[in-house]
């Protein structure tokens, strides 16, 4: 119930529309019932069973008030007028009844349409709010969360799970408001026609509800399996499409196809089983309904034939037709409840995302960093990932304006050390300080605002070149962007593209070469004008020609800035103020290039293996 109420809470801004929805539903039901009420005089005319003595009391038009008898009295007053008119007679009365039927059907559908419009607005707005809540929370989660979660599963929750909630919102207003109003309206009319027969009908509903409840109950577990299965398919699609080049290069299409077929077949089995149970509700309720109608025909027919009922034959036929119509909202309610069960499962999965808390956040008394004036200091820093110690007792000072290079064997902890500086992760032992202020005491926004990051992989977006360079800086002008591009050696190739700075570069910059993508990434960092620069193997994936252009751009970018450089090619960091050698999570050597070569240690060994 808690999950269900949370789902509905996303539509609370539209709660003022619910009374209007209720009004339109009531009016559509009233005009719909009027159609069936008109069956009796219509059938009387057709079967020639109009009894004049029954119309005598309607020769005077009743005074207006809100009651069924007043409506009925006015209808029969005009009906009687047509019958008594020598120019109209029964044919005129028939035309009169048909005209009212057309009018009532028109208004019933108008109000039904208006109710559906309100329902659509509530549904669309609620789903928009849910998607926003998911995205807002997911986008601010720490990096460790995404290491543990599959991206495809997150995407599935944003798509298929949210779609299930969309059905749930509709089913709620339909199954808990519209259908019950329809059923209540029908039964008021049925009781008005014959209380005895209607009490007989009420035996059906508890039995029907118990049977359908058992079917709906079994849906929840399968709904969980179904949502997990579609999440696995989404993850598989994301991995395959992202790595399609590798799939083709290693002739692994057969492998990924077999894996996808397995996941797809699994989902198909779960979906088929779930739909079979879901679809069972409708024929079961229909069978029970036909059983009810058959029993009613037998019992009511005997009463009518034996003159033991107040209903005439024509009225009994109209009663049966109305009972059949009552079964429609009953079937709709059973379908709505099964939909709500699936929505509850989807809601639980979605709220796992909206409730996920980031481990990296501002402390209650966080301080905004105004200026960086002195140094960054790592003090006895230790860090473990999933119980495995990655960094041990790191002590390092980075003075303002100096370039510090991190080198060492792969897996030694260089990137982890760099990720601690912008607080992508928090240290678990020791502390990192900027101008003697612990990073945990600084606001994340002010800390990261002083940093620029260029990684091995240029992270670009399916947008224009201008927007990629100006990313995160909404007030950037074209002149600012062009100036940054020139420093990054990117301006020349940009102006040669189809639309210059307004050229869309495709997903992840797929329409550009590796060197071009990296230079855009550098231009983005230049525009940010950071005081602290983190370069994580920014040239390792480039060819020699691209590397030269990118390295020139990096040298311009690093000039006068505090830089932390992770180097793959050691030739690019010879001029660093200090080189820190990290092995197995520990600092084993540090000093200038010539000093480390003279030491005859790990750095000299790495230098001997370096590519020139």
Q: 387-406 pLDDT, tens per residue? A: 789 899 999 999 998 989 99
Q: If 0-12 CB within 10 Å is exposed, 13-18 middle and 19+ buried, where does residue 136 land? A: exposed
Q: How far apart are CA 296 and CA 316, in angstroms?
A: 10
The pLDDT of residue 378 is above 90:
yes
pLDDT score, position 434: 92
Q: Would strands 562-566 and 375-385 be described as parallel, antiparallel, or unpaired? A: unpaired
Kindly indicate the confidence band of residue 212, based on its pLDDT and cuts at 50, 70 and 90.
low
> pTM surpassing 0.75?
no
How confident is the model over 71-108, as pLDDT tens digits? 666 666 666 666 666 777 767 777 777 787 788 888 88
Q: Is the model more confident about 104 or about 217?
A: 104
Q: Is the pLDDT of residue 520 over 90?
A: no
Q: Is the pLDDT of residue 60 over 70?
A: no
Mean pLDDT of 315-329: 78
Asked if the model's pLDDT at residue 5 lies above 60, the reply is yes
| Nearest Cα residue to 133 out of 444, 359, 352 | 352
**Domains of the chain: which residue ranges?**
2-354, 375-609
Q: What is the pLDDT of residue 540?
A: 62
Output the pLDDT for position 612.
42
Whole-Å CA distances, 28 to 18, 109, 327, 579: 15, 7, 17, 79
Range from 20-29, 448-457, 520-529, 548-557 carrying the lowest mean pLDDT = 548-557
pLDDT at 336 over 80: no
Long-range CB contacts for residues 100-106, cutoff 8 Å, separation at least 24: 100/34, 100/38, 100/75, 101/35, 101/38, 101/42, 104/31, 104/32, 104/34, 104/35, 104/38, 105/31, 105/35
Q: How far apart are CA 47 and CA 111, in angstroms?
A: 33
- Mean of pLDDT values over 588-593: 90
Question: Which among 553, 561, 576, 557 has a CA at the least distance from the CA of 531?
Answer: 561
* Angle subtended by helix axes 2-9 and 89-138, to nearest 10: 100
SS (HEC) of 560-593: CCEEEEECCCHHHHCCCCEEEEEECCEEEEEECH
Cβ atoms 566, 484 nearer than 8 A: no
What dihedral do alpha carbons 230, 236, 239, 243 form, nearest 10°?
A: -140
Is residue 599 predicted with pLDDT exceeding 90? no
pLDDT above 60 for 52: no
Q: Find the length of the chain.
A: 612
Q: CA 368 to CA 442: how far, in whole Å?
A: 6
> What does the pLDDT look like over 409-459, one tens digit per residue?
888 888 889 889 988 888 989 999 999 899 999 998 888 888 888 877 778
CA–CA distance, 567 with 534 (Å, rounded to integer): 11
- Please identify, in words, the CATH class of the domain defined by 2-354: mainly alpha
Q: Stretch 242-258: mean pLDDT, rounded?
A: 74
Q: Phi-psi bin for 323: left (phi > 0), alpha (psi -120 to 50), beta?
A: alpha
Compute how many other C-beta atoms are within 10 angstroms of the C-beta atom of residue 600.
Answer: 9
Decide if domain 375-609 falls under CATH 3.40.50.300.
Answer: yes
Dihedral of the alpha carbons of 329, 335, 340, 341, in degrees to the nearest 10? 140
Is residue 142 very low, low, confident or very high in pLDDT (cuts 50, 70, 90)? confident
The whole-number pLDDT of residue 110 equals: 93
The confidence score (pLDDT) of residue 377 equals: 93
Average pLDDT, the chain: 79
Looking at per-residue confidence, does 537 or 19 come out higher?
19
Which residues, at least 6 apart from 300, have a Cβ–Cβ distance to it below 8 Å?
194, 197, 200, 309, 311, 316, 319, 320
């Amino acid at each position: 119930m808690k999950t269900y109420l949370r789902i509905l809470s996303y539509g609370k801004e539209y709660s003022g529309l619910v009374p209007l929805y209720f009004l339109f539903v009531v009016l559509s039901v009233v005009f719909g019932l009027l159609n069936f009420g008109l069956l009796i005089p219509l059938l009387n005319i057709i079967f020639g069973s109009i009894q004049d003595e029954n119309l005598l009391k309607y020769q005077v038009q009743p005074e207006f008030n809100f009651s069924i008898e007043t409506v009925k009295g006015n209808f029969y007053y005009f009906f009687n007028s047509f019958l008594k008119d020598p120019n109209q007679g029964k044919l005129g009365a028939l035309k009169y009844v048909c005209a009212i039927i057309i009018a009532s059907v028109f208004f019933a559908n108008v109000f039904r349409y208006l109710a559906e419009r309100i329902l659509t607005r509530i549904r669309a707005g609620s789903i928009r709010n849910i998607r926003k809540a998911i995205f807002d929370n997911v986008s601010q989660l720490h990096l460790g969360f995404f290491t543990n979660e599959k991206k495809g599963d997150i995407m599935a929750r944003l798509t298929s799970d949210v779609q299930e909630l969309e059905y749930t919102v509709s089913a709620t207003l339909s199954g808990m408001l519209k259908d019950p109003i329809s059923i209540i309206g029908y039964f008021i009319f049925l009781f008005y026609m014959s209380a005895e027969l209607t009490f007989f009908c009420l035996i059906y509903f508890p039995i029907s509800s118990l049977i359908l409840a058992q079917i709906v109950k079994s849906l929840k577990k399968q709904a969980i399996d179904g949502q997990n299965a579609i999440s696995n398919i989404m993850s598989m699609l994301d991995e395959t499409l992202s790595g399609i080049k590798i799939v083709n290069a290693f002739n692994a299409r057969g492998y990924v196809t077999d894996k996808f077929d397995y996941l797809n077949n699994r989902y198909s089995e779960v979906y088929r089983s779930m739909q079979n149970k879901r679809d069972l509700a409708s024929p079961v309720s229909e069978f029970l309904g036909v059983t009810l109608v058959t029993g009613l025909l037998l019992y009511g027919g005997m009463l009518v034939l034996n003159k033991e009922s107040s209903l005439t034959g024509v009225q009994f036929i109209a009663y049966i037709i109305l009972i059949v119509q009552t079964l429609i909202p009953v079937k709709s309610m059973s379908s709505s409840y099964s939909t709500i069960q699936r929505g509850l499962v989807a809601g639980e999965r979605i709220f796992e995302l909206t409730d996920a808390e980031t481990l990296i956040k501002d402390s209650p008394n966080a301080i905004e960093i105004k200026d960086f004036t002195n140094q960054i200091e790592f003090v006895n820093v230790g860090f473990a990932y999933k119980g495995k110690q990655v960094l041990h007792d790191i002590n390092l000072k980075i003075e303002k304006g100096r370039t510090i290079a991190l080198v060492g064997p792969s897996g030694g902890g260089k990137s982890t050390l760099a990720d601690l500086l912008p607080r992508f992760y928090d240290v678990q032992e020791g502390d990192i300080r900027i101008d003697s202020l612990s990073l945990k005491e600084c606001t994340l926004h002010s800390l990261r605002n002083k940093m620029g990051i260029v990684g091995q992989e240029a992270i670009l977006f399916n947008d224009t070149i201008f927007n990629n360079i100006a990313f995160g800086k909404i007030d950037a002008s074209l002149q600012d962007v062009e100036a940054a591009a020139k420093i990054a050696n990117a301006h020349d190739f940009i102006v040669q593209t189809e639309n210059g700075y307004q050229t869309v570069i495709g997903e992840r910059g797929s329409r550009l070469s590796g060197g071009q993508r990296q230079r855009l990434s550098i231009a983005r960092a230049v525009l940010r004008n950071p005081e602290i620069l983190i370069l994580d193997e920014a040239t390792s994936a480039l060819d020699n020609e691209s590397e030269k252009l990118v390295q020139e751009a990096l040298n311009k970018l690093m000039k006068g800035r505090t830089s932390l450089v992770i180097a793959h090619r050691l030739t690019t960091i010879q001029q660093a103020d200090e080189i820190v050698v990290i092995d197995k999570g520990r600092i084993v050597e540090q000093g200038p290039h010539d000093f480390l070569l003279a030491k005859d240690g790990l750095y000299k060994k790495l230098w001997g293996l370096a590519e020139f």
